A and B are shown apart, each in its own frame.
Chain A
Amino acid sequence: AQSVTQLGSHVSVSEGALVLLRCNYSSSVPPYLFWYVQYPNQGLQLLLKYTSAATLVKGINGFEAEFKKSETSFHLTKPSAHMSDAAEYFCAVSVNTGGFKTIFGAGTRLFVKA
């Protein structure tokens, strides 16, 4: 069965610093991987997705993620944090089995300091 582990429930960075949010997955078949963002009191929005085309995926708001099969990782990065990036981020995996079920990680809350 597939699973997702997000390392670090809270990450704090200074404005302008690199953002790195870690995600490792487990899947016995080729996965589809996603990062979603949740702003306070809102639903989740898609940031980016990996669907086996390019291993480096660019998303919205300057975020990108790299799929590394050998490390079973899909870490999310942004070169320069902005105050508006403060939110909770979820990594998710979906596989080609009954119904394309998607499993979410526990989430990482990003704090951005001025």
Chain B
Amino acid sequence: NAGVTQTPKFQVLKTGQSMTLQCAQDMNHEYMSWYRQDPGMGLRLIHYSVGAGITDQGEVPNGYNVSRSTTEDFPLRLLSAAPSQTSVYFCASSIHSPEQREQYFGPGTRLTVT
């Protein structure tokens, strides 16, 4: 199993550009989520999904869109990039169960917005 994969690994955008961060998992997990990691702030939840066709907002959803058309894929779209979105983005997945909710993380995408 590849686990959770993310592409690209690095990306530089100009202010106002849009892009999609890709995330895929091959573990048949229902639950998928996107976090951003900033120094001294830990990981903050952007959006999450409990299954195909179901998404919801996390702590910091503004400026980001998601969709979940399949169990495997959960792309994150930046609509109009801003310097405040410079961060490291992690995708994670888990079994959607009360007893097994530990998350499996991808390697991350380092995004710089100039």
Asked if A pairs with B, the answer is: yes
A interface with B by C-beta (< 8 Å) = 4, 6, 9, 32, 34, 36, 41-46, 49, 51, 90, 94, 96, 98-107
Other 7 A-B pairs with CB < 8 A, given A4-B42, A98-B56: A41-B108, A43-B107, A49-B102, A100-B98, A100-B101, A101-B58, A104-B43
Total interface residues on B, using CB and 8 Å?
29
Q: Which residues of B contact A (CB under 8 A)?
A: 4, 31, 33, 35, 40-45, 48, 50, 56, 58-59, 90, 92, 94, 96, 98-99, 101-108
Taking a contact as CB atoms under 8 Å apart, the answer to whether B108 and A43 are in contact is yes
Which residue of chain B is the closest to A106 with respect to CB atoms?
A: B42
What are the residues of chain B within 8 A of A105 when measuring CB–CB?
42
Q: Which of B4, B40, B101 makes the CB contact (< 8 A) with A102?
A: B101
List the 8 shortest-distance A-B pairs measured between CB atoms, nearest first. A43-B105, A104-B43, A104-B42, A106-B42, A44-B105, A46-B102, A100-B101, A43-B107
